[in-house]
Amino acid sequence: MGLMTFLRNRAGFILIGAIGFAIVAFLLGDAINVGKPFWAESEKVVGSVDGEKIDIDDFGKKVEQSEAQMKQQYGGSSNPQMQAMAVENVWNGEVAAILLKKEYNRLGLTVSGDELFDLLQGKKPSPLIVQYFGNPQTGQVDRAAVISSLKQQSKNPELKAQWDLLQVEIEKQALQEKYGNMIKNSVYVTSLEANDEYINRNKLANFSYVNLDYASIADATLKLSDSDYSDYYNENKKRFDNPAETRTFEYVSFSINPTKEDTAAIKAQINKLATDFRTAKNDSLFSAINSDVKVPYTYMTRGKLDPSVDSAVFNLPVGSFYGPILTGNSYKLIKVVDTRFSPDSVKASHILIDAAKVGGVDKAMKMADSLKTLVQGGASFATLAAKYSVDGSKDKGGDLGTFSRGQMVAEFENAAFNGAPGDLKVVKSQFGVHLIKIEKQMGSSKVAKLAYIEKNLTPSGRTRDAAYKKATSFLNELKGDNFNTLAQKNGYTVAIADKISASQGYAPGLDNPRPLIKDAFGAEKGAILEQVYTMENSFVVARLTSISPKGLLPLASVKKEIEPLVRKAVKAKMLTEKMNSALNGASTIAQVAQKAGKPVVAAENIVFANPILAGVGQENKLIGSVFGSAPGKISKAIAGEQGVYAFSIKGFSNPTALANTFKQKETMLMAVSQRSLGAAFQALMDKSKIKDNRVKFY
């Protein structure tokens, strides 16, 4: 049962098949084509890799599992951003799994039966086996427990299914490791490269320079020509290779935030609640019924509440009322029911009894009492846990480790923190009946039991209706390209969501953008999207303004974007001519400065590997030119990031000889190996035909 619990908790990770290379995830994000048209694809195909289809049913289950994992890890409820992240993770895993499987077959990489046996129960166990069956302190695997669990498969179909799943993942990880090692072993670093790297990081340059700053030419004085744009575009075409289709839309938001009238109504409501709260007979029930935010009716430590009320509440005596007070976007009303000093953390073990399996809660409680009596009589708690507990901790003698408040359910937490070391407690929770052994308690701080009411400032139905009516009216009046004109006429602000990808889970100013993005990828350029979109605090009307297809973008589509860069390029040409004029006939850098009307600036102890110029910023071209020049000579004009430069080198300070070439090579090889894994996977991506239809479904 322990293994099954473990596998259930990790099912999302195992089914998704996380790739062993950290580089893969972000490579995938930018390298996959958003395919259109969609009507050529099956209605159940979320995408394909070299013709191998990814079915939406299987994909959807994995997304649900990934999302559940995220909710468990980060807490809170699902939201559009979380779902988008889950979809992206599963997609990356699916694409990578298909590509790598093909590559393994091409290379003849396999895991033999003997290797698999060793990974499962031999001398070189898989990290997954170590993770579950290993001792946390020593890392040693309990082989007897592994073999016992494997033997139980014949009697337990569910356990067999879980082991089959785990075996697939173990084989996958082993293949990933073989492939990774093969790539890593194909690269090397020479002694010459090691010495060059050492010198680049330790050789110092001292030089003087003159700078003609781009800021010295006002933007307003420049009139850019078509040839200026085309020259820059042709010289920098690689910058305009769009890895995936993106779309840009403009939109108007219609706020549905509470009005003054809404706020007044909520304030009146909270004031009445405050009066009733003072005379309520059951504090916990009253707060649970009337609060928009559910805070457990249990002892809590400082720092759990809104900072603006936390310190005030913890300084009040028992029986005090605090509020109502408005902080953030809600009114708070709190009664201090009790305070005490309590341990900061507890180390405990437990035996969990499933009431359904022993004939009900009453029988489970009696069984727990019987086990308690046995322990009090000298029986081993760990032995009883291994035999009777249904929790994953049974194989560790019921050991739950050390935990602080807020990590366990309320019933369990109260028993563990309110008891004393050595106590045995029987409690019932949503998971079953627990026999708890308090091993140790650490620290001590003030805790408070609070009856807590929070009422959110929310818009009334009338406010929402008014905002929706305005949005609908605006949408109905839109015709053709009058979006901005009509918005300006009505005093509405037009916002822009630029370069949005089909799978993106966020967009500037929008908290629930997926429906809008999905429709944008089904629309034509210039189209008004045909519905009013509901966000958390607004309604939105949008228009698709541009489509940037995958591949080399034409000049027309990037012209506005590159305008600042073109302007800088034109300034560079103008200032290069001015610098060349100053350089003409000059024999010293001081003469260049005098002719250019600029001061000579000294740069001391500059290294090639860190091309930063004090007071200026990063200047790669300038520093690169410095380290490629000889001392005593005046350079030619260098067009950098902030201006056009001329320089003269005073001298270089060479470092002492590299003492340990092997260690330098080893350090460099680690970085080169990691890059090689990414480069290898990128090559697989470039050679593959990937169709991504996720936007149809999410």
| Sequence spans of domains, the chain | 2-184+689-696, 204-242+556-653, 246-257+460-548, 260-342, 345-442
Exposure string of 226-251, with b = 16+ CB inside 10 Å and e = fewer, is eebbeebbeeeeeebebebbbbbbbb
Q: Return the minimum-mean-pLDDT range out of 76-80, 487-491, 598-602.
A: 76-80
Single out the residue of 66, 65, 35 nearest to residue 49, CA to CA.
35
Transcribe 109-165 into DSSP letters. ----HHHHHHHHHSSS--HHHHHHHB-TTT--B-HHHHHHHHHGGGG-HHHHHHHHH
> Taking all residues of the chain, what is their mean pLDDT, rounded to a whole number?
88
At 673, list the tokens. Answer: 């190996």
Residue 35 reports pLDDT greater than 80:
no
3-state secondary structure 507-543: ECCECCCHHHHHHHCCCCCCCECCCCEECCCEEEEEE
37, 524 Cβ separation under 8 angstroms: no
Min mean pLDDT across 46-55, 154-163, 535-544 is at: 154-163
Average confidence (pLDDT) over 511-530: 93
Domains 246-257+460-548 and 345-442 are alike in CATH topology: yes
What is the rounded CA–CA span in Å between residue 33 and residue 15? 24
pLDDT in tens, 429-482: 888 999 999 999 999 888 888 999 999 999 999 999 999 999 999 999 998 789
Per-residue pLDDT tens for 195-230? 999 999 999 999 999 999 999 999 999 999 999 999
Residue whose token pair is 């457990």? 296
Name the residue among 39, 513, 451 with its Cα closest to residue 284: 451
Instruction: Tell me how far apart the alpha carbons of residues 662 and 197 are, in angstroms, rounded to a whole number.
Output: 13
From 138-152, 251-265, 269-283, the region with the lowest mean pLDDT: 138-152
Q: Is the pLDDT of residue 343 over 60?
A: yes
- Which residue is associated with the tokens 């009013």? 532
Task: Quickly state the pLDDT bin for 137 (edges 50, 70, 90).
Answer: low
Q: What pLDDT score does 38 carry? A: 39
Collapse the DSSP code of 693 into the 3-class scheme (helix H, G, I; strand E, B; otherwise coil) and give the result.
coil
Q: Which of 135-144, 336-345, 549-558 has the lowest average pLDDT?
A: 135-144
Portion of the chain with pLDDT greater than 70, in percent: 93
pLDDT of 313 reads 87
Phi-psi group of 182: left, alpha or beta (phi > 0 → left; psi -120 to 50 → alpha; rest → beta)? alpha
Report the CATH architecture of 246-257+460-548: Roll (3.10)
DSSP 656: P
pLDDT on residue 366: 93
Note the pLDDT of residue 75.
66
Classify strands 424-429 and 643-653 as parallel, antiparallel or unpaired: unpaired
Q: Give the mean model confidence (pLDDT) for residues 133-153.
A: 79
Amino acid found at 455: K
What confidence tier does 381 reach under pLDDT thresholds 50, 70, 90?
A: very high
pLDDT at 276 over 50: yes
Residue 532 reports pLDDT greater than 90: yes
What's residue 24's pLDDT? 40
Mean predicted confidence (pLDDT) in 324-332: 90
At 321 the pLDDT is: 92
pLDDT band at 26 (very low <50, low <70, confident <90, very high): very low
Q: What is the model's pLDDT at position 42?
A: 56
Calculate mean pLDDT across residues 370-399. 89
d(CA 632, CA 244): 50
Confidence (pTM): 0.64
Class of domain 345-442: alpha beta
